[in-house]
Amino acid sequence: MNDCLFCKIIAGEIPSKKVYEDEYVYAFYDIAPMAPVHVLVVPKLHIASADGVSADNSAYVARIFEAIPKIAAAEGLANGYRVITNCGEDGCQSVRHLHFHILGGRKLPETLA
Ligand code: AMP
């Protein structure tokens, strides 16, 4: 996946501000934060979107959701936060590598759409 922005970030070919890393997961600050804390959590395996999750790769998703509470705690999000993944054209997914946004640090709007 040479053309994938997030694969290049994981490989260190494009700089990022790392928040967390393990064997399966990489997390970094969003370049255009939409909340005081805005972290992107991605699988180290290229999965295009939530629509590409299957029994073959869902271990990566499980590891992401194990990492999220650790990241949230480290970021001081004891009062709560939002986890979002945009999927495909109608979901306004702009980077076609599965990623979960962690948003927090203030009271977020109730509406998603
Ligand atoms: P989405 O629209 O759900 O696909 O989210 C993609 C996110 O990636 C957006 O919030 C962008 O601000 C973010 N983004 C794009 N390029 C970079 C980058 N080089 N480093 C960090 N975040 C990025």
- Encode pLDDT of 6-25 as tens digits: 999 999 999 999 999 999 99
Collapsing DSSP to helix, strand or coil, 63 comes out as helix
Residue 10 and residue 42 in contact, taking contact as beta carbons nearer than 8 Å:
yes
- For the chain, 113 residues long, give each residue's pLDDT as a single digit of tens: 579 999 999 999 999 999 999 999 999 999 999 999 999 999 999 999 999 999 999 999 999 999 999 999 999 999 999 999 999 999 999 999 999 999 999 999 998 76
Residue 23 and residue 96 in contact, taking contact as beta carbons nearer than 8 Å:
no
Residue 54 Cα to ligand 1 midpoint, Å, equals 24
| Residue 95 Cβ < 6 Å to ligand 1 | yes
Task: Judge whether 99 counts as a catalytic residue.
Answer: yes
pLDDT at 108: 96
Q: Which residue out of 38, 46, 97, 99 is catalytically annotated?
A: 99
Residue 74 Cα to ligand 1 midpoint, Å, equals 21
| Residue 85 Cβ < 6 Å to ligand 1 | no
| Residue 31 Cβ < 6 Å to ligand 1 | yes
Rounded to whole angstroms, the Cα distance separating 2 from 34 reads 28
| Residue 78 Cβ < 6 Å to ligand 1 | no
